Amino acid sequence: MNRTPLIAGNWKMYKTVGDAERYIQALLPRVAGLEGVEIAIATPYTALAAMVDSTRGSRVGVYAQNMHEAAEGAFTGEISAPMLVELDVAGVVIGHSERRQYFAENDRAVSLKVAAALQAGLLPILCVGETEEERLAGDTERKLRHQVQEGLEHTPPERIAEVAIAYEPIWAIGTGRVATPDQAQEAASFVRALVGALRAGVDDQVRVLYGGSVNAANAAELLALPDVDGALVGGASLDAESFAAIAAAARERTR
């Protein structure tokens, strides 16, 4: 197994361009030595161009938090994959539970976005995860099966390995209630098996991340799990020091 760990920060709707510039100057020296760890930060659209400039030549990739599935069109307020690629954005978070919940993003749109991102040359992070109700009802696997299969439906099988899949239990996002290592490992391994069922051998290649209340104190334990190849980090990615500490915890995985 030689899957490069991916530590991705998701700033959500936080930080002006000025905030982003101060943050990146604090982050870069702290992560410069982390060989073997891929680091990404998904910023608001408004900070993308400045962040791409400031991170050039570093190990930090700049990601978007969403995109439209069409290359262009009459879709007021939307941004397309070619527009992100033109800025040298490296990847994009797709189907985050906040997009699904507050902006009515459905599985079909998510699936088209994943395929369009890949086609344009962006690395997609596809987010999946169950609500607390679904977990309590024993429906976690059913939900994950549905979201993984639907989310990858339009992706050509030979490109599935390029998609990173973030398992993010919705009850753990922004709540401080992190999944237990057993819960995270069980779900990540299930997601990996689902991908393997879509195309043999891809289960060994695809990166599965955990997301939901990851912080500098719990990251090492989660990142040591055999099927967790990285983390999608919200709140704790807003502070350069704590985000760097999480990335440093992933370094252990590469040893």
**40 lies in the binding site for ligand PGA (CB under 6 A):** no
**214 lies in the binding site for ligand PGA (CB under 6 A):** yes
Residue 154 among the catalytic residues: no
Distance CA 14, CA 29 (A): 22
Residue with tokens 């050039």: 56
DSSP state of 58: S
What angle, 0 to 180 degrees and rounded to 10, lies between the N-to-C axes of helices 45-55 and 17-31?
A: 40
Q: Is 183 left (phi over 0), alpha (psi -120 to 50) or beta?
A: alpha
Residue 146 among the catalytic residues: no
Distance CA 160, CA 152 (A): 7
Q: Between 116 and 243, whose beta carbon lies closer to ligand PGA?
A: 243
Q: How many residues in the shown chain lie near ligand PGA by CB under 6 A?
A: 13
**44 lies in the binding site for ligand PGA (CB under 6 A):** no
Among 18, 29, 33, 174, the residue binding ligand PGA under the rule CB under 6 A is 174
Cβ atoms 59, 34 nearer than 8 A: yes
What letter represents residue 73's amino acid?
A: G
Judged by CB under 6 A, the stretch of 75-83, 141-149, 192-200, 231-239 that binds ligand PGA is 231-239
Q: Show the CA angle centred on residue 100, arms to residues 98 and 104, nearest 5°.
A: 120
Q: Between 14 and 159, whose beta carbon lies closer to ligand PGA?
A: 14
Judged by CB under 6 A, the stretch of 73-81, 190-198, 206-214, 240-248 that binds ligand PGA is 206-214
Distance of CA 75 to the CA centre of its chain: 25
φ and ψ at 211, to 5 degrees? -140, 150
**Residue span 235-254 as binding mask against ligand PGA, x where in contact by CB under 6 A, dash where not:** xx------------------
Q: Between 10 and 43, whose beta carbon lies closer to ligand PGA?
A: 10
Among 105, 168, 227, 229, the residue binding ligand PGA under the rule CB under 6 A is 168
Give the catalytic positions in this structure: 96, 168
Which residues contribute to the site for ligand PGA (CB under 6 A)? 10, 168, 173-174, 211-214, 232-236
